[in-house]
């Protein structure tokens, strides 16, 4: 994987996860919980959201492996979750679900926004437009991955709070969804079998009109 491509991917990923987390905090604040605001987390400054393991160590190891192997690889990580106190929500019934869906919706919005420009950027021999198109493709693809991955209906993903809000009795019966280890393994398996090869490419083509594969 080229160094320049890695830099683009890291920058886009960090921006996307920061927007994801800030969206959680902004909706929580709108619903009456100022915890994230008081903690200084309603900012796009990535330094406020970096997680030592998920934002530095793990991505750094994966990048180093990609460079040493001379081939592409999956660059993965996460930001530090914004602090939220659901007891402050004015909407006690659906407040948690509203805050949870805000992150994935923010990623979907970014995918739709930049996907529009992919549709209108002309196919030309211009290096500038070619590079811009590649950059926008990265933005859409990464945000679609974040959108789908975070909707997994198990803890600690955003989808868990949606699932438990609307299907509480079913959530109680599915123990593995409440176990963070088994749930994360299930999410990774889902992405490997359905998300990466089918669902994300389908959404990408639906939004951009072109195929990612």
Kindly state whether residue 30 falls inside one of the protein's structural domains: yes
Kindly state whether residue 17 falls inside one of the protein's structural domains: yes
**Distance in angstroms (rounded) separating the CA atoms of residues 107 and 81:** 15
- φ and ψ at 55, to 5 degrees? -105, -15
Kindly state whether residue 50 falls inside one of the protein's structural domains: yes
Kindly state whether residue 89 falls inside one of the protein's structural domains: yes
Supply 118's token pair.
Answer: 């992919």
pTM of the model: 0.90
Q: What is the tally of structural domains in the chain?
A: 1
* Per-position pLDDT tens, the chain of length 213: 567 777 788 889 889 999 999 999 999 999 999 999 999 999 999 889 888 877 777 777 766 776 666 555 566 667 888 999 999 999 999 999 999 999 999 999 999 999 999 998 877 778 888 889 989 999 999 999 999 999 999 998 999 999 999 998 888 888 888 898 999 899 989 988 999 899 999 999 999 999 886
DSSP codes, 5-25: HHHHHHHHHHHHHHHHHHHHH
The three-state secondary structure class of 50 is strand
> Which of 20, 21, 77, 203 is the catalytic position?
21
Q: Is 2 a catalytic residue?
A: no
Kindly state whether residue 213 falls inside one of the protein's structural domains: no
What pLDDT shows up at residue 108? 98
pLDDT digit string, tens, across residues 30-81: 999 999 999 999 999 988 988 887 777 777 776 677 666 655 556 666 788 8
Kindly state whether residue 8 falls inside one of the protein's structural domains: yes
Q: Which residue has the tokens 């079998």?
A: 193
**Distance in angstroms (rounded) separating the CA atoms of residues 52 and 78:** 10
Provide the residue range defining the domain that includes 38. Answer: 3-208
Kindly state whether residue 56 falls inside one of the protein's structural domains: yes
- CB 42 within 8 Å of CB 48: no
Kindly state whether residue 171 falls inside one of the protein's structural domains: yes
């Amino acid at each position: 994987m080229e160094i320049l491509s890695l830099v683009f991917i890291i920058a886009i990923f960090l921006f996307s996860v920061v927007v994801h987390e800030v969206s959680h905090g902004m909706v929580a604040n709108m619903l009456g919980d100022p915890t994230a605001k008081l903690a200084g987390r309603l900012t796009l400054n990535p330094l406020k959201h970096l997680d030592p393991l998920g934002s530095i160590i793990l991505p750094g190891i994966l990048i180093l492996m990609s460079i040493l192997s001379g081939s592409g690889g999956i660059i993965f990580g996460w930001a530090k979750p914004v602090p939220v106190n659901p007891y402050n929500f004015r909407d006690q019934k659906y407040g948690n679900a509203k805050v949870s869906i805000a992150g994935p919706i923010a990623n979907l919005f970014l995918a739709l926004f930049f996907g529009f420009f992919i549709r209108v950027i002309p196919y030309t021999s211009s290096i500038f437009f070619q590079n811009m198109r590649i950059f926008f493709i990265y933005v859409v693809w990464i945000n679609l991955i974040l959108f789908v991955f975070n909707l997994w209906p198990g803890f600690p993903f955003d989808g868990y709070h949606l699932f438990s809000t609307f299907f509480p009795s079913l959530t109680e019966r599915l123990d593995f969804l409440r176990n963070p280890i088994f749930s994360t393994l299930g999410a990774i398996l889902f992405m490997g079998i359905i998300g990466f090869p089918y669902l994300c490419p389908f959404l990408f083509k639906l939004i951009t009109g072109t195929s990612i594969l």
